[in-house]
């Protein structure tokens, strides 16, 4: 555990583990209908002993909803970001490394996608494919790809000009091996940072899709859906926004700290 000696890394890992634990164990321990059961006597109840995190406008318990929503939100966000990395990494890498004509073609394609707001793009994809979790993931994943591809291309462009890449080329290393052995490890820090930031946006993007009826379908719970639903009642029941908002914030915080640690672990210079 010596590598995690920094308190920052420790906090990040503890936070992430706790959230993952909640997301995995929650659905096992809590009956599925706990998130949809309505307590009509306690609508918009502030936090009490019966409802520790309060209830929403339909009297549904916020604690259960946030616990059961964790899985949906994280599943969608993580899958979508993984997908955008899988698509964006080779795109950006090839574009930045080879440059010239290939770069021009690929980047104009990416620019076309960038011209649409990410959410609008996701919305279109989701509307075409139909609303379910799998399609939500695809929609968000595709919508986020151009941002990742752009950042990776920039990094690859920088690294491709480093003398160690030229040295590898002059010693007969093939282009594919140069990309895998020399370029990829050197752009990984940027990918990790961008990936962890994207996760936070993916959680919110899922919320946007859900709000428009294309993501998670009510009455199932997701953090994004909960934040959207709280919009009209921020003044009278602020906890309905605060509880899922805090869940998103803690997840992002944990991820960012973890991302930093991951970057340091991968960097031989930081040891």
User: What residues make contact with other proteins under the rule CB under 8 A?
Assistant: 162-164, 166-174, 177, 181-182, 185-186, 266-269
6 or 132: CB nearest other proteins: 6
User: Which is it for the CA torsion 3, 8, 14, 17, positive or negative?
Assistant: negative
43 or 169: CB nearest other proteins: 169
CB of 262 to other proteins, least distance (A): 14
38 φ/ψ angles, rounded to the nearest 5 degrees: -105, 135
2 or 269: CB nearest other proteins: 269
99 or 245: CB nearest other proteins: 99
167 or 249: CB nearest other proteins: 167
Rounded to whole angstroms, what are the CA distances from 68 to 135, 213, 220, 236?
A: 20, 19, 9, 24
CB of 267 to other proteins, least distance (A): 8
CA 231/CA 243 separation, integer angstroms: 13
CB of 171 to other proteins, least distance (A): 4
Show the DSSP H helices in 161-222 as ranges. Answer: 163-170, 175-177, 184-211
Strand pairing partners for 56?
A: none
CB of 16 to other proteins, least distance (A): 25
CA 187/CA 110 separation, integer angstroms: 19
CB of 105 to other proteins, least distance (A): 16
Q: Which residues contact 48 (CB under 8 A, 6 or more apart)?
A: 42, 54
CB of 185 to other proteins, least distance (A): 4
Give the three-state DSSP class for 60: strand
130 or 163: CB nearest other proteins: 163
Q: Which residues contact 169 (CB under 8 A, 6 or more apart)?
A: 178
CA 80/CA 72 separation, integer angstroms: 12
CB of 122 to other proteins, least distance (A): 34
Whether the CB-CB separation of 125 and 184 falls below 8 Å is answered with no
Show the DSSP H helices in the chain as ranges. Answer: 7-29, 62-98, 100-115, 118-129, 133-160, 163-170, 175-177, 184-211, 223-229, 239-266
108 or 269: CB nearest other proteins: 269
């Amino acid at each position: 555990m010596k590598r995690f000696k920094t308190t920052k890394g420790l906090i990040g890992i503890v936070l992430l583990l706790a959230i993952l634990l909640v997301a995995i164990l929650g659905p096992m321990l809590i009956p599925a209908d706990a998130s949809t059961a309505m307590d009509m006597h306690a609508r918009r109840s502030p936090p009490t002993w019966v409802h520790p995190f309060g209830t929403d406008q339909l009297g549904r318990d916020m604690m259960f909803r946030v616990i059961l929503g964790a899985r949906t939100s994280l599943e969608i966000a993580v899958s979508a970001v993984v997908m955008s990395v899988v698509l964006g990494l080779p795109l950006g890498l090839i574009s930045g490394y080879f440059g010239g004509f290939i770069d021009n073609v690929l980047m104009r394609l990416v620019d076309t996608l960038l011209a649409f707001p990410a959410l609008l793009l996701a919305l279109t994809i989701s509307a075409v494919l139909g609303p379910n979790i799998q399609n939500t993931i695809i929609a968000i994943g595709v919508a986020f790809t151009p941002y990742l591809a752009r950042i990776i291309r920039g990094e690859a462009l920088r690294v491709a000009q480093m003398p160690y890449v030229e040295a590898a080329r002059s010693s007969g290393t093939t282009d594919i091996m140069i990309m895998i052995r020399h370029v990829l490890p050197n752009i990984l820090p940027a990918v990790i940072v961008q990936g962890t930031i994207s996760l936070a946006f993916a959680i919110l993007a899922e919320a946007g899709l859900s709000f428009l009826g294309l993501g998670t379908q009510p009455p199932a719970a997701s953090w994004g859906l909960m934040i959207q639903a709280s919009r009209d009642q921020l003044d009278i029941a602020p906890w309905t926004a605060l509880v899922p908002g805090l869940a998103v914030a803690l997840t992002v915080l944990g991820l960012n700290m973890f991302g930093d640690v991951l970057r340091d672990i991968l960097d031989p210079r930081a040891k």
